[in-house]
Structure 1
Amino acid sequence: MNENSNKTAIDLERATLGGGCFWCLEAVYQQIQGVHSVVSGYAGGARPNPSYESVCTGATGHAEIVDILFDPQVVSFRDLLEIFFVIHDPTTLNYQGNDHGTQYRSVIFTHSAEQNQIAHEVVKELEDAKIYSASVVTQIEAAPIIYPAEEYHQNYFQQHPNQGYCMAVVAPKLAKFRAKFKALIAPNYA
């Protein structure tokens, strides 16, 4: 008998989000219970196999994204979106802080009709509640081809916590997440 035959298969789902620099999003989503992997990458542009250098020019049309595999029995897509809307500013078109360009746009790339519906519901709830002083400009689109970023971008904050950008930009977003979503932090990060 196969040693894996008694194990229950986990049905993982994907969430693909862009909200500024992927290092910020990656650092947060890696700490959430039920998240199995987070890959920084590029999506939504016209050029196949883009490089970081080409995406940074804004000419490819890609957004910096994180591609998340998660267990919906542990953390919901709605939970992931609620975190998303706390850790970045969804009211600024094509920039977050000092990061400017279409590669930094706020975007949710959906992988199912259900995700599309939930994304639209969450945005409407935010707008109805007037959480922000300006309108939410987050784009909601069907997931295109997703390209992983170069290896040196993966696990960036974990590998470079004392790098200037990480200390000034990533760490405060991570702290904001940890303060507001304590119940969702994975035990190994608590």
Structure 2
Amino acid sequence: MAEFKKAVFAGGCFWCMVEPFDSLPGIEAVVSGFTGGHVENPTYNEVVRGGTGHTEAVEITYDPDKISYKDLVEIYWRQTDPTDAAGQFADRGEGYRPVIYYSNEEERQIAEESKKNLEENGPFHEPIVTSIEPREPFYAAEDYHQDFYKKESAHYKRYSVGSGRVPFLEKHWEDND
């Protein structure tokens, strides 16, 4: 039986951070939620209003024998604008800042090395400002937000394009694979 691990990433709206990981081999679950703040069990409305310190994030349960943490970090970069510390795309503020949360020193080193590689070899001319921080308690969002891309696919598609996420990702990553 597999021994699963968990990875936590914040990259703006958590709706848009689930699909890229959800169907990969070795992924057991992707949960939308909140982390990094000082309020226990926050609600979506509390986080959106601000003042909780939390970011919208995803918690990925994965089998490290099938997909590595390093692979997850590389996939993460390709879902975000790593040059924007004030939010992601149409979503602005502390609740939408990009963060890689690490659970141990090995994960921190992997994230730092990957960030350095992106700075030196990536498609961006601006500094890479995604934060790399110790993992904190993760709180799952309300059921409505789980698997949003499946349950509300038309809304999700309109949002991911209209927010500017899809055009940005296509511009910066499509030709750089």
Same fold (TM over 0.5): yes
Give the TM-score, by structure 2 length. Answer: 0.88
CA RMSD of aligned residues (A): 1.9
Q: Report the residue type matching 1:37 in the other structure.
A: A
Q: Which residue of 2 aligns with 1:92?
A: 84
**SS of alignment partner, residue 28 of structure 1:** helix
The answer (yes or no) to whether the contact 1:94–1:104 under 8 Å persists in 2 is yes
Q: Which residue of 1 aligns with 2:157?
A: 166
Q: Distance in 1 between matches of 2:57 and 2:159?
A: 20
In the TM superposition, what whole-angstrom CA distance separates every residue of 1:16-56 from its partner, at most 9, and x where no partner exists?
A: 00000000011111121110000000000111111100100
Structure 1 stretches lacking a partner, 5+ long: 1-8, 181-190
Q: Report the residue type matching 2:158 in the other structure.
A: M
Which of 25, 28, 34 does residue 42 from structure 1 map onto? Answer: 34
Q: Distance in 1 between matches of 2:18 and 2:78?
A: 14
Shift in Å, 1:147: 0.5
Please identify runs of 4+ aligned residues in structure 1 that moved more than 6 A.
Answer: none
Q: Distance in 2 between matches of 1:97 and 1:128?
A: 23
Give the TM-score, by structure 1 length. Answer: 0.83
Query: Is 1:141 paired with 2:133?
Result: yes
Alignment of 1:118-157 (within 5 A): 118-157=110-149
Query: Is 1:71 paired with 2:63?
Result: yes
After alignment, is 15-24 or 90-99 more displaced? 90-99
Q: Which residue of 1 aligns with 2:23?
A: 31
Structure 2 stretches lacking a partner, 5+ long: none
In the TM superposition, what whole-angstrom CA distance separates every residue of 1:54-78 from its partner, at most 9, and x where no partner exists?
A: 1001211100000001011111111
Q: Distance in 2 between matches of 1:145 and 1:33?
A: 26
Over the matched positions of the two proteins, sequence identity in percent amounts to 37
Q: Report the residue type matching 2:116 in the other structure.
A: K
Give 1 or 2 for the bigger CA radius of gyration.
1
